[in-house]
Amino acid sequence: MRFARICKVAALLAVAFASCPTPALDADAGDYTALPAGTNLALVYFQHATRDEFYVNGNKAPGRNRLDSDVGILRGVHFMDLGGYIVDPQFVLPFGKLKAKDDLSALGDTSGVGDLILGATLWLVNKPTTNTYFGVTPWLYAPTGSYDKNRALNLGENRWRYALQAGFITGLTDKLLLDLIGDVTWFGKNDDFGPTGATLKQRAMYEFQAYLRYQLTPTWDVRMGALHYSGGETEVNGVMQNDRTRTTKFTVGSAVFVTPKIQLIANYGQDGSVRNGLRENNRLNLRFLTVF
């Protein structure tokens, strides 16, 4: 039974943690704020997460099923004017380490670089005076990351991903802001999945995010949010795996501009409910941003 459980976990983890260990495009509150053309951003992220419970169809599996991750992300953004609209071509490059522990220790660990992500937001609504913004972002994940079919855990996916995300920000009061973000991700196939070189396909994944931000000062806010993922059932060599995702996460945090051009963000989160996969019991996200 323990061996069968490890095999099942390995199959799910190979999908769920193939890129940086986030199933969809998590954004930070404020990410859909349009900045003036000519502005450049350089960002560095650090994400530490621990997972201590494994669920199959809503039922908690026995044992101590733990997976830890330490992931860094490099991101560059350039804002420009295109036909009267603000657009921000950008790249995102994750890297880091995954380590299975306790009853999952047979899965081992891995480190390396994740898949390169390219995108650009087009702002269709851009009203800084009322803190109202609406933008649409297509994303492309290129299969450039570290991948070995004989490893249970990988930082790269060996497949293309395509996503479409939309974000809306509005000021509810002078100090309170609401962020709403939704996206859908489509997956290409991985035709070299697992030791036998199976064909992995995956149905679309959906995500919805909602955040409230309260401005303590013009440069310092506190924030809270809820995220929900659904979909993403996988198919291996034509056999559906009955592993549809349905996860809800909650976060709290704060953001501050320590100088006019340097911002620091810290967020803490936990999964509230998980249908399939490992439950995150702790997640710390740190972000450094500089404007130039």
The CA-based diameter of the chain, rounded to the nearest angstrom, is 61
| pLDDT score of 26 | 86
Full-model pTM:
0.91
Q: Residue 58's closest CA among 272, 218, 276?
A: 276
pLDDT digits (tens, 9 = 90+) for 128-170: 999 999 999 999 999 999 999 999 899 999 999 999 999 999 9
List Cβ neighbours of 41 (8 Å cut-off, separation of 6 or more). 35, 75, 76, 77, 78, 79, 289, 290, 291, 292
What are the residue boundaries of the structural domains of the chain, listed by start? 2-291
| pLDDT score of 21 | 44
% residues pLDDT > 90 (the chain)? 85
Residue 94: C-alpha distances to residues 74, 111, 141, 183, 267 (Å):
6, 11, 11, 19, 18
Match domain 2-291 to its CATH number in 2.40.50.140, 3.90.79.10, 3.40.50.720, 2.40.128.130. 2.40.128.130
pLDDT of residue 101 exceeding 70? yes
pLDDT of residue 28 exceeding 80? yes
Q: Residue 146's closest CA among 193, 100, 91, 95?
A: 95
What are the DSSP E strand ranges found in the chain?
40-56, 59-60, 65-78, 80-82, 85-102, 109-113, 116-127, 132-142, 161-171, 176-187, 190-193, 198-202, 205-217, 220-231, 234-236, 239-240, 245-259, 262-274, 277-291
Among 23-27, 69-73, 226-230, the least confident range: 23-27
**Structure token digits, residue 150:** 């004989």
pLDDT of residue 63 exceeding 60? yes
| pLDDT score of 19 | 37
Cβ–Cβ under 8 Å, residues 230 and 249? no
List Cβ neighbours of 145 (8 Å cut-off, separation of 6 or more). 19, 94, 112, 113, 114, 115, 116, 154, 155, 156, 157
The three-class DSSP label of residue 128 is helix
| CA dist., res. 29 & res. 223, Å (int) | 8
Q: Which residue has the tokens 């992931």?
A: 71
